[in-house]
Amino acid sequence: MSDQYRVTFVGFDADTDGQNAIERLAMKLGVPKQKVEAFTQGKFLFGISDKSKCLKQAKLLAIYGLQSKIQEVPSSSHTANNNAANERVFEALDYITSSLIRIEEKLEELEQRIDGQQKTDDDKEEEQWQSDDLFDELDLDSDPKPKSKKLLYTLLSILFVLLIVLGFSLAFPEMVQF
Rounded distance between C-alpha atoms, residue 54 and residue 52, angstroms: 5
Rounded distance between C-alpha atoms, residue 62 and residue 7, angstroms: 12
pLDDT higher than threshold 60 for residue 57: yes
Q: If pLDDT is split at 50, 70 and 90, which confidence band does 95 have?
A: confident
Rounded distance between C-alpha atoms, residue 176 and residue 18, angstroms: 48
List b or e across 160-177, with b for residues whose CB sees 16 or more CB atoms inside 10 angstroms. eeebeebeeebeeeeeee
Fold for domain 4-73?
Ribosomal Protein L30; Chain: A, (3.30.1390)
Q: If pLDDT is split at 50, 70 and 90, which confidence band does 139 have?
A: low
Rounded distance between C-alpha atoms, residue 43 and residue 57, angstroms: 15
Q: Which of 63-67, 79-83, 107-111, 173-177 has the lowest mean pLDDT?
A: 79-83
Q: Is 4 exposed, middle or buried, given 0-12, 13-18 or 19+ CB atoms closer than 10 A? A: middle
Domain ranges of the chain: 4-73, 76-113+145-178
Q: If pLDDT is split at 50, 70 and 90, which confidence band does 156 have?
A: very high
**Of 61, 64, 62, 67, residue with least CA distance to 46:** 61
Rounded distance between C-alpha atoms, residue 38 and residue 119, angstroms: 77
